[in-house]
Amino acid sequence: MKEVLRILEKDARSTPEQISTMTGMSVEKVRKAIEQAEKKRAIVKYKTIVNWEKAGEEQVWALIEVKVAPQRDVGFDSIAERIYRFPEARSVYLMSGTYDLAVMVVGKSMREVASFVSEKLAPLDSVQGTVTHFLLKKYKEDGEILEGEEGVKRLPVTP
């Protein structure tokens, strides 16, 4: 099953027939493995990585460090859920270190991201403080190089 998941993680468009050829498993066994993984939510979503800059759409991404006061009996889970329910929040992670949550946010402008932080995120009861870092350029996302050509970069050997 893990081999099937690794193949799909690399390319979600891989068909059960292609995976069968790569792994030596029967097509039916591959289909069942995928179905089980989807039911258990080991496969959460099939995703396409889009380089929006090359598609002609400006997006502003920010990493927001959030310091929170954990709540009795639920710890960080309750505040994390309130934050991940906002459509602006693309990813929310519990972190070790100087802040508690890392929140990846996307908006159409810096003003939109700043409004999200000041009007929605910072006023939440458990939030003690935030630090916003704006992403200036994406070079690689989810293991895929976005800028330049991927390939071997060797100097030619001359006699």
Distance CA 51, CA 147 (A): 9
Q: Give tens-digit pLDDT for 74-125.
A: 889 999 999 999 999 999 999 999 999 999 999 999 999 999 999 999 999 9
Beta carbons within 8 Å of 74's beta carbon, 6+ residues apart: none
When comparing pLDDT for 73 and 83, which is higher?
83
Residue 144's pLDDT is: 84
Angle, helices 16-23 vs 2-10, to 10°: value is 120
Residue range 151-157: average pLDDT?
57
* Three-state DSSP state, 102: strand
Amino acid letter, 113: V
Q: What percent of the chain has pLDDT over 70?
A: 92
Distance CA 17, CA 136 (A): 41
Distance CA 146, CA 140 (A): 5
C-beta neighbour count of 117 within 10 angstroms: 21
